[in-house]
């Protein structure tokens, strides 16, 4: 499977605490990647994901913009080229601190996509 991010529909994040946040599911078991899902999130200026935790780990690679990743109460400034590992059970949140879209890849086990 080969595609382009422009061909993936963006879905507004409707969970409580998410603001100006969009998700694109790029690769999942539906496309043949058993056990994992690759999503691209876009936070508009002033946007954020909610503070949350879950029982699975995930990795993030930051593609565009700049923001803050809060991980277990510590703020980490990130920009394009930064990456993060979020352990299972860790309290975390992403915030767009810039004037452009803050875009990042998020890869989770299949159970994390819902």
| Domains by residue range for the chain, with CATH | 15-102 (2.60.120.10)
The pLDDT of 52-60, averaged and rounded, is: 96
| Predicted confidence band of residue 24 (pLDDT cuts 50, 70, 90) | very high
Q: What is the mean pLDDT of residues 13-42?
A: 96
What is the rounded distance in angstroms from the CA atom of residue 105 to the CA atom of residue 98?
A: 18
**Residue 114 confidence (pLDDT):** 72
- Region 34-46: mean pLDDT is 97
Q: Which of 66, 70, 71, 52 has the alpha carbon at shortest distance from 103?
A: 66
Q: Note the Cα 56 to chain centre separation in Å.
A: 14
Separation of alpha carbons 109 and 23, rounded Å: 16
Q: Are strands 66-71 and 92-96 parallel, antiparallel or unpaired?
A: antiparallel
Predicted TM-score of the model (pTM)? 0.94
Position 107 scores a pLDDT of 98
């Amino acid at each position: 499977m080969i595609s382009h991010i422009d061909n993936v529909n963006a879905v507004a994040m409707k969970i409580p605490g998410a603001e100006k946040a969009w998700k694109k599911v790029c690769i999942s078991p539906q496309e043949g990647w058993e056990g994992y899902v690759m999503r691209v999130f876009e936070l508009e200026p002033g946007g954020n994901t909610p503070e949350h935790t879950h029982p699975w780990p995930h990795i993030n690679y930051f593609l565009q913009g700049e923001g803050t990743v809060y991980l277990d109460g510590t703020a980490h400034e990130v920009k394009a080229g930064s990456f993060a590992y979020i352990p299972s059970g860790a309290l975390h949140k992403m915030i767009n601190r810039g004037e452009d879209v803050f875009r990042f890849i998020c890869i989770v086990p299949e159970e994390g996509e819902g």
